[in-house]
């Protein structure tokens, strides 16, 4: 008997949730924005701004790695706007015909920086990595992590790649580099300026890679084909590109593209 009651309760609970999700679907002017996880703080703030400016509209976010977000769109996820941390994934989406033509725009740029844990004083520039006292340098795996590719380009620019190759500790994402530096597992690491700014007390930026030393780190955004709310999606992108949107992005360390 007990299990029968449990079953009925579960049935009622699930009916309630089905009803709720139908009610949610009826709301118009709701868009889902798939954005790279590194954009979280900035985009949530822009989303709130959009909602206060356009009463009755709702912006939902879906945060993850750009590659995973691309797979979701490919699988038919109900996404209206796609903001990627790398041109590569956006190019792929474009080539496969998932984007509304003419909606793609670059909205932010990032800077590649060298960080150390606040206590380390001996490393002052990329060239200092050449010193014998430096044993381990954290960088993303260049095969899969864009930040790792940029790091390699910067090392090549400074002519130290061969010298430091044996000291590189490869990670599967750029946040892991940040974590290693904070915990003192590596002497220094190469991350984006926006990453370093999430732990201002624990890491210090000792050098910024010159712009010409690596390919530009530019973030593209576009409307996804099949959206039910193309107007809202375009209006959201317009807000990201506007002066107000750019001010919010700048607050979190992003530059203008």
Partner 1 sequence: MDTGTLFSMRLSLQVATVATFFVVIIGICVAYLLARQNFRGKEIVDMLFTLPLVLPPTVIGYYLIVIFGRNGLIGKTIYEWTGFTIMFTWYAAALASFVVALPLMIKTTRASIESVDRNLINASYTLGNGELVTAFKVILPLAKKGVIAGAVLSFARAMGEFGATLMLAGNIPGKTDTMPLAIYSLASSGEWTQAHTMVILLTIMSGVFLYLANVYSKRGT
| Candidate segments 59-67, 109-117, 147-155, 163-171, binder of partner 1 by CB under 8 A | 59-67
40 interacts with partner 1 by CB under 8 A: yes
* Residue 74 CB, nearest approach to partner 1 (Å): 7
For partner 1, the closer CB: 39 or 164: 39
Pairing of strands 112-117, 188-192: antiparallel
62 interacts with partner 1 by CB under 8 A: yes
Contact pattern from residue 143 through residue 182 relative to partner 1, giving x for each residue in contact according to CB under 8 A and a dash for the rest: --------------------------------x-------
37 interacts with partner 1 by CB under 8 A: yes
| Candidate segments 39-47, 105-113, 134-142, 147-155, binder of partner 1 by CB under 8 A | 39-47
* Residue 199 CB, nearest approach to partner 1 (Å): 6
Instruction: Tell me which of 29, 45, 54, 72 binds partner 1, using CB under 8 A.
Output: 72
41 interacts with partner 1 by CB under 8 A: yes
For partner 1, the closer CB: 3 or 212: 3
199 interacts with partner 1 by CB under 8 A: yes
Instruction: Tell me which of 8, 12, 15, 17 binds partner 1, using CB under 8 A.
Output: 17
HSE-CB of 103 using CA atoms within 13 angstroms = 27
For residues 204 and 135, what is the distance between their CA atoms, to the nearest angstrom? 18
SS (H, E, C) the chain: CHHHHHHHHHHHHHHHHHHHHHHHHHCCCEEEEEEEHHHHHHHHHHHHHHHHHCCCCEEEEEEECHHHHHHHHHCCCCCCEEECCCHHHHHHHHHCCCECCCCCEEEEEECEEEEEECCCCCCCCCHHHHCCCCCCEEEECCCCCHHHHHHHHHHHHCCCHHHHHHHEEEECCHHHHHHHHHHCCCCEEEEEHHHHCCCCCCEEEEEECCHHHCCCEEEEEEEECCCCCHHHHHHHHHHHHCHHHHHHHHHCCCECC
For residues 71 and 58, what is the distance between their CA atoms, to the nearest angstrom? 24
Instruction: Tell me which of 56, 76, 97, 102 binds partner 1, using CB under 8 A.
Output: 76
Distances (CA, A) of 142 to 111, 127, 215: 17, 20, 14
230 interacts with partner 1 by CB under 8 A: no
For partner 1, the closer CB: 70 or 240: 70
* Residue 127 CB, nearest approach to partner 1 (Å): 29
For partner 1, the closer CB: 153 or 185: 185
> Interface with partner 1 by CB under 8 A: which residues?
10, 13-14, 17, 21, 32, 34, 37-38, 40-41, 44, 60-64, 68, 71-72, 74-79, 175, 198-199
């Amino acid at each position: 008997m007990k299990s029968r009651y449990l079953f009925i309760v579960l049935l009622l609970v699930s009916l309630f949730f089905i009803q709720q999700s139908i009610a949610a679907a009826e709301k118009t002017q709701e868009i889902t924005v798939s954005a790279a996880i590194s954009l979280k703080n900035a985009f949530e703030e822009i989303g709130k701004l959009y909602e206060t400016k356009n009463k009755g509209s709702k912006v939902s976010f879906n945060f993850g790695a750009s590659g995973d977000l691309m797979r979701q769109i490919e699988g038919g996820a109900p996404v209206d706007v796609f903001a990627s941390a790398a041109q590569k994934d956006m190019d792929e989406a474009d080539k496969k015909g998932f984007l509304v033509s003419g909606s793609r725009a670059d909205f932010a740029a990032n800077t590649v920086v060298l960080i150390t844990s606040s206590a380390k004083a001996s490393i002052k520039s990329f060239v200092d990595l050449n010193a014998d006292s430096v044993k381990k340098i954290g960088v993303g795996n260049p095969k899969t992590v864009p930040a790792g590719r940029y790091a390699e380009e910067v090392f090549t620019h400074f002519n130290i790649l061969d010298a430091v190759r044996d000291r590189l500790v490869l990670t599967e994402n750029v946040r892991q580099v940040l974590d290693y530096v904070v915990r003192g597992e590596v002497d220094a690491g190469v991350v984006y300026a926006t990453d370093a700014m999430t732990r201002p007390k624990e890491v210090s930026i000792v050098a910024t890679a010159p712009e010409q030393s690596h390919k530009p780190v530019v973030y593209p955004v576009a409307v996804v084909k099949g959206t039910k709310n193309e107007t809202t999606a375009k209006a959201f992108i317009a807000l990201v590109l506007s002066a107000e949107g750019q001010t919010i992005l700048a607050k979190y360390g992003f530059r203008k593209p």
